[in-house]
Amino acid sequence: MWPVGKKIGLTLLAVPALALALAGPAAADDPVKGSAGGGVGAGASDHTTVLRKGDFGPAVTKVQRKVRTGADGIFGSQTHNAVKRFQRRKQLEVDGVVGPITRRALRLRAFSSDDVSHRGRSRGSSVRLPRVLRQIAQCESGGNPRAVSRGGTYRGKFQFSRSTWRAMGGSGDPAKAAESTQDRLALKLYRRSGVQPWPACSRAIRS
């Protein structure tokens, strides 16, 4: 009866870890139409951070406001589909990727790499997790410390409920806590209760 890891629908779908993509050089006055929708390659005036499904952060929030979808800072399926609709309207390649061409069509300035995080990549966590916890994190949230379940009950990399988070010594919103804090409290919970708090994912990784 642990209120953690119920594996209900996440705002984000589990996808492989996404790395930064760099756009190739081209003339700054290239038209928006007639190049890759994501804008990787032709049409990029400089090296630019590219946003894809699974990314999260302030840069994603800017895109969400432009495409008029929920501005939660998480590039999930809803944002991906909204970007594709925008690209279709603008006659860009419909790939759901926000590269230089799509970004300029959205009238946004180049994104800073500091304004986007990529799911599956640890940023600043110094906590050494056992393999089983790393697998549970991937199952629960794709390793995304900002993931929130569809109903908002389960939050963060390990899909803590607020009550379990507080019971482990956490404060505030689990999904807004530093990744290292989430790792530390998940490890504390694991040492106390094993994989019991994550029943669905613990069964999945054993199968």
Q: Residue 139: give its domain's CATH number.
A: 1.10.530.10
* 56 and 100 fall within a common domain: yes
* 155 and 68 fall within a common domain: no
pTM, two decimal places: 0.46
4 domain-assigned: no
The residue out of 95, 119, 143 marking a domain boundary is 119
pLDDT at position 42 is: 29
Per-residue pLDDT in tens (0 to 9) along the chain, 207 residues:
355 665 433 443 333 333 333 333 333 333 333 333 443 332 333 356 889 888 877 888 899 999 999 888 888 889 999 999 999 999 999 999 999 999 999 999 998 876 777 654 445 567 889 989 989 988 898 888 898 998 999 999 999 999 999 999 999 999 999 888 999 999 999 999 999 999 999 888 776
Question: Residue 173 belongs to what domain range?
Answer: 131-206
pLDDT at position 6 is: 52
The residue out of 63, 91, 119 marking a domain boundary is 119
How far apart, in Å, are the Cα atoms of 138 and each of 73, 83, 147, 202? 19, 25, 11, 11
The answer to whether 114 touches 68, Cβ cutoff 8 Å, is: no
* 32 and 115 fall within a common domain: yes
**Which one-letter DSSP state was computed for residue 10?**
B
The answer to whether 12 touches 119, Cβ cutoff 8 Å, is: yes
What is the distance, to the nearest Å, from the Cα of residue 40 to the centroid of all Cα atoms in its chain?
Answer: 20
* 42 and 93 fall within a common domain: yes
Cα 38-77-199 angle, rounded to 5 deg: 135
Count structural domains, the chain.
2
* 79 and 112 fall within a common domain: yes
pLDDT at position 41 is: 32
Contacts of 206 by beta carbon, 8 Å cutoff, 6+ apart = none
Closest CA to 10 of 77, 97, 100, 71: 77
What is the distance, to the nearest Å, from the Cα of residue 100 to the centroid of all Cα atoms in its chain?
Answer: 20
* 73 and 145 fall within a common domain: no
Task: Give the whole-angstrom CA distance, residue 116 versus residue 174.
Answer: 19
* 104 and 164 fall within a common domain: no
5 domain-assigned: no
* 27 and 113 fall within a common domain: yes
Alpha helices in the chain (DSSP H): 58-67, 77-89, 100-105, 131-141, 162-167, 179-193, 199-206
The answer to whether 15 touches 54, Cβ cutoff 8 Å, is: yes
* 94 and 149 fall within a common domain: no
198 domain-assigned: yes
Amino acid identity of 158?
A: F
151 domain-assigned: yes
* 162 and 80 fall within a common domain: no
Residue in the structure block whose two tokens are 């990727």:
97
The answer to whether 146 touches 154, Cβ cutoff 8 Å, is: no
The residue out of 56, 91, 119 marking a domain boundary is 119
- Here the CATH number for the domain that contains residue 61 is 1.10.101.10
* 63 and 142 fall within a common domain: no
37 domain-assigned: yes
* 147 and 79 fall within a common domain: no
Q: Is the dihedral of CA 171, 176, 181, 184 positive or negative?
A: positive
